[in-house]
Structure 1
């Protein structure tokens, strides 16, 4: 089983896009719970999270969140990121065969414009980070409150499926 963690601030529409993609994983029995870590959004982020059945938290200890997650694996995503078809099978396969962290491949159809490639630093959550829960707990204790910091510290293997990064979802 998989727990999904999404950190957000005023990303109502983006969160809805990501959650709609995760429905397939819930139906297939992969996604057991989704945890939304909210930095005080004043839009409809909380309503979207509640309507989708997510755990919505406004304050948290990341290590405790990882400990209480239901899944044996944790997937950390940006709001707006959307895994493409085949993601459920790819994650099931990875969880059955591997014990190390993984990430999605960047979508070939959603490449960063050259200007962004040259002048902006990539966010590790752009491609999601999948890791065993026990490793997530250990790393969360070392990195503090942010899932982004947790993702930055991972050496990952590429999964066989792609993801549309959050920055591309906004333009779609």
Structure 2
């Protein structure tokens, strides 16, 4: 089973996009819970999370969150990121065969523009990070409060499926 952790701040639309993609994982029995870590959003982020049945936290301790996650594996995503078709099967297969952290492959149809390459550094959560729960707890204790910091410290293998990054998912 898999727990998904999403850190957000005023990302109502982005969170809705990500959660809609995760539904198939819940139906297939892969996703056991989704935990939304919020930094005091003033939009409808809380409504979206609660309507989707997520555990919504405004105050948290990251190691405690990782320990209390229901799944044996933790998938950390940024709001707006959307795994593409085949992600459920790819993660099931990976979890059965591996014990090391992994990440999605970048979508070939959603390449970064030259402006993004030059002026916006890549976010490690752009491709998500998949961790076995014991490693997630250990790394959370070492890195502090942010799932982003947790993702930065990982050597990962590539999953056989792609993800649409958050920056390409919701366009204003």
- Superposition TM-score tier, normalisation by shorter sequence: over 0.9
Give the corresponding residue for 1:53.
53
Q: Counterparts of 1:116-131 in structure 2 under 5 Å?
A: 116-131=116-131
Root mean square deviation of aligned Cα = 0.8
Partner of 1:86 in structure 2? 86
1:24 matched residue in structure 2: 24
The equivalent of 1:101 in structure 2 is 101
Report how far residue 119 of structure 1 moved.
2.3
Q: Name 1:42's counterpart in structure 2.
A: 42
In the TM superposition, residue 18 of structure 1 has moved relative to its aligned partner by 0.2
1:135 aligns with 2:141: no
Q: Which residue of 2 aligns with 1:153?
A: 153
TM-score (norm 1): 0.99
Task: Give 1:54 shift.
Answer: 0.2
Q: Which runs of 4+ in 1 moved over 2 A?
A: none
Q: Distance in 2 between matches of 1:114 and 1:159?
A: 26
Give SS of 1:171's match: coil
Cα shift at 1:115: 1.6
Distance 1:135 1:65 in 2: 13
Paired with 1:94 and 1:114, the residues of 2 have a C-alpha distance of: 33
Deviation at 1:60, TM superposition (A): 0.3
Separation in 2, partners of 1:119, 1:48: 31
How far, CA to CA, are the matches of 1:98 and 1:117 in structure 2? 32
Q: When the two structures are aligned, how many residues end up with a matched partner? A: 172
Give the Å deviation of 1:120: 1.8
Structure 2, gaps ≥5 residues long: none
Q: Distance in 1 between matches of 2:15 and 2:116?
A: 23
Q: Does 1:63 align with 2:63?
A: yes
**CA distance in 2: counterparts of 1:171 and 1:6, whole angstroms:** 19
> Aligned equivalents of 1:171 and 1:163: distance in 2?
16
Q: Could you tell me how far 1:118 is from its partner in structure 2?
A: 2.1
Q: TM-score, normalised by structure 2?
A: 0.99
